[in-house]
Amino acid sequence: MLRILVLGSAAGGGFPQWNCNCENCRRARRSEASAVARTQSSLAVSADDEHWFLLNASPDLGQQIAQSLPLLPAREPRHSPLAGVVLTNADVDHIAGLLTLRERQPLTIYATRRVHDVLASNSVFNVLNPEVVKRQTIELEQSAALHLPDGRPAGLAVELFSVPGKVALFLENPDAGPNFGTVPEDTVGAKITDQSDGRHFFYVPGCASMPPDLARRLKGAPLVFFDGTTWTNDEMRTSGVGEKSGSRMGHMWMSGAEGSIAAFSDLGVGRRIFVHINNTNPVLLADTPERAEAEAAGWEIAEDGMDIRL
Ligand code: MLT
Ligand code: MN
Ligand code: ZN
Residue 42 near residue 12 (C-beta atoms within 8 A): no
241 alpha carbon to ligand 1 midpoint, in Å?
A: 15
Is residue 259 in contact with ligand 1, taking CB distance under 6 Å?
no
Sign of CA dihedral 147, 190, 7, 60: positive
Which residue puts its alpha carbon closest to atom 6 of ligand 1? 12
170 alpha carbon to ligand 1 midpoint, in Å?
A: 9
251 alpha carbon to ligand 1 midpoint, in Å?
A: 9
Is residue 11 in contact with ligand 1, taking CB distance under 6 Å?
yes
Residue 236 near residue 216 (C-beta atoms within 8 A): no
In a domain, 84, yes or no: yes
Predicted pLDDT at 255: 98
Is residue 282 in contact with ligand 1, taking CB distance under 6 Å?
no
Neighbours of 212 (CB within 10 A): 7
Residue 259: domain span: 3-305
Residues in CB range of 18: below 8 A, 6 or more apart? none
Predicted pLDDT at 246: 96
Q: Choose one of 88, 89, 92, 188 to mutate for the ligand 1 pocket test, by most ligand atoms within 8 angstroms of C-beta.
A: 92
Alpha helices in 206-248 (DSSP H): 212-218, 235-238
Predicted pLDDT at 76: 84
Predicted pLDDT at 243: 94
Residue 41 near residue 9 (C-beta atoms within 8 A): yes
Predicted pLDDT at 122: 97
13 CA: nearest ligand 1 atom? 9
244 alpha carbon to ligand 3 midpoint, in Å?
A: 14
In a domain, 279, yes or no: yes
Average pLDDT for runs of 10 along the chain of length 310:
98 98 97 98 98 99 98 94 98 98 97 98 97 98 97 98 97 96 97 98 98 98 98 95 95 98 98 98 98 98 98
Q: What's the CATH code of the domain at 284?
A: 3.60.15.10
Of 176, 136, 179, the closest CA to residue 160 belongs to 136
Is residue 297 in contact with ligand 1, taking CB distance under 6 Å?
no
In a domain, 310, yes or no: no
How many residues belong to the chain? 310
For residue 82, give the 3-state DSSP assignment: strand
Burial of residue 49 (number of CB atoms within 10 Å: 0-12, 13-18, 19+): exposed
Which residue puts its alpha carbon closest to atom 3 of ligand 1? 249
In a domain, 191, yes or no: yes
As for how many domains the chain has, the answer is 1
